[in-house]
Each structure stands twice: as structure tokens, then as C-alpha cells.
């Protein structure tokens, strides 16, 4: 029996109980028990007395005991016999929760989405007490939407939508201040919806304006403080706008940035002090309400350091507050080591890239165009690369405030060989090795290719180590823990590719790499000067993995970097 199965079972029991219309606190007790196990770093065999953990009691402990001794939970089996499994997907229909579904099943014997659709079409649902015509129409609509709207939208799809909304909000004069919040602000890889906080003293006018100037496909709710819409821009996505007074802005931003677990912890801390946190401020025992200029002030009020949105997740951040000052920040970044120019598939000349990096205030940078093999990207031949080296050397004569290093993003070929010979590589300052082909090879072959690159003395770094595109493809499925081990043994850097398409390595592996002492480089892989801004999301993603600045190659001084790549 493994821990994951136990966690899944507890969560599943919670779902089934929800569908029975159970007491919500009872349901959440099972979810909490699952979370307690999830948050515990130990493996199952290392945990000797699970039942003594806080949050695990008699009933949840019995489930765990059952799973360990019998391999299944009698409680879950029992629930599965009383609750049809077809009810589970019905929870995905917005507006339907456990109680309504339980009622539909009990009164109308509806046990699947298909049966529900039929019952709505036949007008049977509107006759139930608590349901009426509008509810029935809404359910039908949502069932149809369920198929058309993706459940989660990737961060790279959300980013341009957020840009668009920010642009529109900036044009509304009655808005004093606004910010994106929610999971996007926490740099989750994918989100269900987008949240915005808007400070205004004219909520009604702003609401009307929003509905007018945004590509609204559907209005979900439009109250005085909350406007919820489905937007139709490339993808369909729900967006929530919260309208508050300026003095409430920091509290609202904090509340709607979440996460839910983070908020619960904060509210518990407040409660212990006799205070009450809401999205509008902090209510004191005497009924007066405290407001804050900024989130920094809000945390300081509870004697806490500013906790960046990126680490506000499962609540475990509160036990790691001492690490916050060490986390990498954008202004620690001194260079970007993976970018392309017009020599391969980039949009700008080397000089334009240099100028853009100077604007960023970097002290050093590396030009890493593609190699020969990648024909579609106009990869450089040996001759063109040697020519590029000369040009970069002469550019270095021109600039005194930034050092440009020569480099390549060299393909690791399908047979495992490298695209340039050592005599070429030895002339470069910084060598990146990447896989761009034959993703479907067996894992042994992929690992053989990676090992070959890691063993080459001239290679410094493996770029986008798994090849994933968020929510779109998994990549070439390397055995990452082994890759990390090999990187350590061979003294190589692993990349955190900051492109929002990739964010590769992911947080789980970044944590492992840091633990094993493998240096990480955060690189934008920019193909356009605008993409150099991805350093920001890359750094914030690194915070999610609790990466410390000293482990990030980009934070090292020019001298230290030079020393490192020359050894």
C-alpha cells in the first residue's frame, strides 16, 4: 500500500459523502486527513504512528488501517454500493453541489449526467422543491458547456488574456487601482479562472463599463461587489472581478490571491488574537475594522514577514518563514544564458538582444542559437557558428557595461551523439545541450542521450530537461531523479526554462535538484526581445520550488560565473 492510494481513497470517500448530502464538516474532515498525509514528507513506512497525527482520528485512522491491512477500505466499498458512481462527474456541473445532486438522485433517481440532461429536457427537474425553471435551464446549459470549455487553462494561454484585460482596465478612468489575483498571481501552471481586484468608488458604473468593453460571452453573476463573466478570447475562460473601496484593496487582493489553505491559516492566526479577517479588512474585538496600505502591512500587522504570492499554497509555508529572505528575487538576476537571434530562429539581431539585456541591467548574457541539426530553426553550421563567435568578440569591444558570452543551444541527436565536435565546443564560452527530436524513444535511449551530453566536458547545461509543454505534451519522459544525480556527478547545470509554455523543470524536480546540490539556471529562451520579460515568471516559479538565490547561477556575479564556466 502506498501513500498516494491512501490519500486518493480519503478524498474519494469525501466526494461520496458530499454526494450523500453529508455534513460539510464531516466531508472536510476526510479531505483534511488526506492533506495531512500529503503534507508529511515521510514515506508510509517511515510513519510509525499515523493515527496520532493531528487531523487523523478514529474514522480516518480506521480507513488507513483498513487499506494497509486489507488493501481496500470497507467504508469506501460501502459508499460505492450506496452511491452510484455516475453522480461523481455531476459535481463538475457549476451550480450543482452534493446536496442538490443527492436530491436529484433521491427524488428522480437521476444517476448520471445523461439522465440529468434527459430529465431537464422532459421538464421533470423544475417540479422538484428547491429547483425551478431557471435552475433547470441553467443545468442544461452547463451540461452543454461542460464539453466545450476546458477544465483548466494553461498559464501561457492565460498570460495574453491577462494582458488584454489589464489594458482594458487601465482605460477605465473610474478605476483607482487594479491587480490580477488568484492562482495566476501565484504562478500556478494552469488555472480554472482569472481573478481581478478593482478599487473604485463607483462600482455600478465600473460594472457596466466592464460588461461593455470586454469580449463577454456570458454573464455568470453581476452584483455590486462581484462581476463574473465568461470571456471569449482564443479560449473561453471565466473571469471574476471584485469591486472594492480603495482602503479595502490590500485585504481583497490578499483574500482573492489565496490559496484557500493559506487564507484559512491566516484567519486562524487572526482568530487566536481575537480578530477576524475578511476580504474587506481585519475586524477587531470592538467591532472596528483595520485597513492596510499594502499586503506587506497586512502581514506585518500579524507579526509576519511578507509572504510572496508564489508560496501561498498548502499552509506549510508558515513553517518555512525563515527561508523567505533567501528565496530568489527578480532583482537578484544578473544575466540570461539562453536566447536566440536572427542567426537561427530569433526575431532580433544579436545587437538588439544585447541592447535589450542592457535595459534589463544585466552584467552578462549568452547568445545561444540553435545548432546545425535543427534545420527548421535555421540551426548554425560549424562555419556560421565560428563566424558568430568573431562577431560577438568584436561586440564585446564595443560594450563596457555588459559581457556577451558565446554559446550554442546544441542538439543531442537521436542516436545520442552531439551536433558539434569537441574542437568547436572548446571555442565556446557556454554550451547548452538540448533534445528537440525523437521524443517517443524508450526512456533508456533518452537517458543514454542525456548521459552522453552530461559526460561531455564542454557541455555546461541541459536546457528544458523534460521537453514538456504545459497542459499540452509531456515531453520525452526522462527519469529526472537519475538525470539530477548525473548532473551532480558531472558538475552540470540544469535549466529552469522560464518560457510560460515550458516552466521546465517543474517545481517537484527543482526542489529535488536543489536538495541534491545541482545548480539551476533560470533562462528565458527568448526568441524575441519581448520574451526577455519571462525572467520574471521564471523567478517567481522558482520561488514556488523554494529555490534559494545562491543555488541559481543567474544570481552569481560575472566573476563567479566566468570562473564556473571556465573550469
Partner DNA sequence: GCCGTTTTCGGCCCGACTGTTTTCAGTCG
Q: Are 120 and 128 in contact (CB under 8 A)?
A: no
Closer to DNA by CB, 28 or 378: give it: 28
Q: Does 96 bind DNA (CB under 7 A)?
A: yes
Among all chains, which residue has been given the C-alpha cell 433517481? 109
For residues 432 and 231, what is the distance between their CA atoms, to the nearest angstrom?
A: 40
3-class SS of residue 21 = coil
Q: Is residue 288 near DNA by the rule CB under 7 A? A: no
The answer to whether residue 94 forms part of the interface with DNA (CB under 7 A) is yes
Kindly tell me which residue out of 31, 124, 149, 276 binds DNA, with binding defined by CB under 7 A: 276
Residue 98 is a binding residue for DNA (CB under 7 A): yes
Among 80, 278, 396, 438, binds DNA (CB under 7 A): 278
Region 182-241 residues binding DNA, contact defined as CB under 7 A = 182, 192-193, 195, 221-226, 238, 240
State the DSSP string of 438-503. -TTS-HHHHHHHHHHHHH-TT--EESSTT--BTTTB--S---HHHHHHHHHHHT-EEEEE--TTT-
Could you give the residue ranges of the DSSP H alpha helices within 171-301? 182-185, 203-213, 249-257, 260-272, 295-301
Q: Which residues partner with 281 through β-bridges?
A: 278
Nearest CA among 210, 118, 131 for reference residue 165: 210
Nearest-approach distance from CB 274 to DNA, in angstroms: 10
Q: Is 124 in the site for DNA (CB under 7 A)?
A: no
Stretch that binds DNA, among 128-136, 148-156, 469-477, 540-548 (CB under 7 A): 128-136
Minimum Å gap between C-beta 340 and DNA is 38
Q: Which three cell numbers stand for residue 284?
A: 477587531
The yes or no reply on residue 287 touching DNA (CB under 7 A) is no
Closer residue to DNA in complex, CB, 73/371: 73
Q: Rule CB under 7 A: is residue 314 a binding residue for DNA?
A: no
Between CA 153 and CA 156 the distance in angstroms is 8
Gap between the Cα atoms of 522 and 217, Å rounded: 38
CA distance linking residue 202 with residue 492, whole number of Å: 56
| Candidate list 20, 73, 248, 263; residue touching DNA; CB under 7 A | 263
Q: Is 313 in the site for DNA (CB under 7 A)?
A: no
The residues, ordered by sequence, that sit 6+ positions from 17 with a Cβ below 8 Å of its Cβ are 26, 27, 30, 79, 98
Binding residues for DNA, rule CB under 7 A, total 63
Q: Which stretch binds DNA (CB under 7 A): 163-171, 263-271, 434-442, 463-471?
A: 263-271
Instruction: Please give the backbone phi and psi of residue 491, each rounded to the nearest 5 degrees, phi first.
Output: 65, 40
The nearest distance, CB 207 to DNA, in angstroms, is 9
**Which CB atom, from 185 or from 527, has the smaller least distance to DNA?**
185
Is the CB of residue 526 less than 8 Å from the CB of residue 346? Answer: yes
Q: Which is nearer to DNA, 53 or 558 (CB)?
A: 53
Does 54 engage in binding with DNA (CB under 7 A)? yes
If one asks whether residue 130 binds DNA (CB under 7 A), the answer comes out as: yes
In the complex with DNA, the residue whose CB is nearer, 51 or 427, is 51
Tell me if 299 sits within 8 A of 309, measured CB to CB: no
List interacting residues with DNA (CB under 7 A). Answer: 23, 25-26, 28-30, 32-33, 53-61, 91, 93-101, 126, 129-136, 138, 182, 192-193, 195, 221-226, 238, 240, 256, 258, 260, 263-264, 267-268, 271, 276-280, 283
Amino acid at each position: 500500500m502506498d501513500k498516494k492510494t491512501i490519500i486518493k481513497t480519503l478524498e474519494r470517500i469525501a466526494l461520496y459523502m458530499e454526494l450523500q448530502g453529508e455534513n460539510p464538516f464531516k466531508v472536510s474532515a476526510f479531505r483534511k486527513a488526506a492533506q495531512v498525509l500529503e503534507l508529511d514528507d515521510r514515506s508510509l513506512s517511515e510513519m510509525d504512528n499515523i493515527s496520532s497525527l493531528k487531523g487523523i482520528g478514529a474514522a480516518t485512522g480506521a480507513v488507513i488501517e483498513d487499506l494497509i491491512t486489507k488493501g481496500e477500505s470497507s467504508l469506501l466499498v460501502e459508499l460505492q454500493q450506496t452511491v452510484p458512481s455516475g453522480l461523481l462527474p455531476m459535481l463538475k456541473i457549476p451550480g450543482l453541489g452534493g446536496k442538490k445532486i443527492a436530491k436529484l438522485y433521491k427524488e428522480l433517481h437521476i444517476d448520471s449526467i445523461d439522465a440529468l440532461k434527459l430529465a431537464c429536457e422532459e421538464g421533470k427537474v423544475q417540479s422538484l422543491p428547491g429547483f425551478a425553471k431557471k435552475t433547470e435551464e441553467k443545468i442544461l446549459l452547463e451540461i452543454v458547456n461542460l464539453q466545450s470549455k476546458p477544465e483548466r487553462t494553461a498559464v501561457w494561454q492565460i498570460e495574453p488574456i491577462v494582458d488584454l484585460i489589464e489594458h482594458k482596465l487601465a482605460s477605465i478612468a473610474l478605476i483607482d487601482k487594479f491587480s490580477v489575483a488568484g492562482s495566476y498571481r501565484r504562478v500556478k501552471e494552469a488555472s480554472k479562472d482569472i481573478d481581478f481586484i478593482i478599487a473604485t468608488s463607483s462600482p455600478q458604473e465600473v460594472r457596466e463599463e466592464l460588461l461593455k468593453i470586454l469580449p463577454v460571452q456570458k454573464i455568470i453573476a453581476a452584483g455590486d461587489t462581484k462581476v463574473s463573466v465568461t470571456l471569449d478570447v482564443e479560449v473561453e475562460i471565466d473571469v471574476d472581478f471584485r469591486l472594492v473601496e480603495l482602503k479595502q484593496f490590500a485585504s481583497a487582493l490578499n483574500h482573492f490571491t489565496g490559496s484557500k489553505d493559506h487564507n484559512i491559516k491566516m484567519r486562524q492566526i487572526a482568530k487566536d488574537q481575537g480578530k477576524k479577517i475578511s476580504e474587506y479588512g481585519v475586524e477587531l474585538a470592538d467591532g472596528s475594522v483595520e485597513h492596510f496600505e499594502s499586503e506587506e502591512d497586512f502581514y506585518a500587522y500579524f507579526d509576519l514577514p511578507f509572504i510572496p504570492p508564489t508560496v501561498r499554497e498548502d499552509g506549510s509555508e508558515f513553517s518555512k518563514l525563515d527561508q523567505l529572505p533567501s528565496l530568489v528575487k527578480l532583482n537578484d538576476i544578473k544575466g540570461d544564458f539562453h536566447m536566440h537571434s536572427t542567426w537561427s530562429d530569433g526575431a532580433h539581431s544579436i545587437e538588439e538582444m544585447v541592447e535589450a539585456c542592457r535595459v534589463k541591467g544585466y552584467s552578462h548574457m549568452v547568445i545561444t542559437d540553435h545548432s546545425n541539426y535543427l534545420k527548421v530553426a535555421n540551426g548554425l553550421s560549424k562555419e556560421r557558428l565560428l563566424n558568430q563567435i568573431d562577431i560577438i568578440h568584436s561586440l564585446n569591444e564595443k560594450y563596457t557595461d555588459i559581457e556577451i558570452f558565446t554559446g550554442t543551444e546544441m542538439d543531442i541527436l537521436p542516436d545520442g551523439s552531439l551536433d558539434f565536435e569537441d574542437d568547436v565546443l572548446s571555442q565556446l564560452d557556454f554550451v547548452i545541450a538540448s533534445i528537440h527530436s525523437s521524443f517517443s524513444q524508450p526512456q533508456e535511449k533518452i537517458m543514454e542521450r542525456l548521459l552522453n551530453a552530461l559526460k561531455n566536458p564542454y557541455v555546461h547545461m541541459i536546457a528544458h530537461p523534460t521537453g514538456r509543454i504545459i497542459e499540452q505534451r509531456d515531453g520525452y519522459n526522462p527519469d529526472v531523479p537519475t538525470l539530477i544525480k548525473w548532473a551532480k556527478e558531472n558538475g552540470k547545470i540544469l535549466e529552469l526554462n522560464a518560457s510560460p509554455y515550458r516552466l521546465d523543470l517543474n517545481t517537484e524536480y527543482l526542489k529535488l535538484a536543489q536538495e541534491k546540490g545541482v545548480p539551476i539556471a533560470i533562462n528565458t529562451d527568448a526568441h524575441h526581445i519581448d520574451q526577455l520579460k519571462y525572467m520574471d515568471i521564471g523567478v517567481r516559479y522558482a520561488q514556488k520550488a523554494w529555490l534559494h538565490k545562491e543555488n541559481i547561477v543567474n544570481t552569481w556575479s560575472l566573476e563567479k560565473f566566468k570562473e564556473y564556466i571556465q573550469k
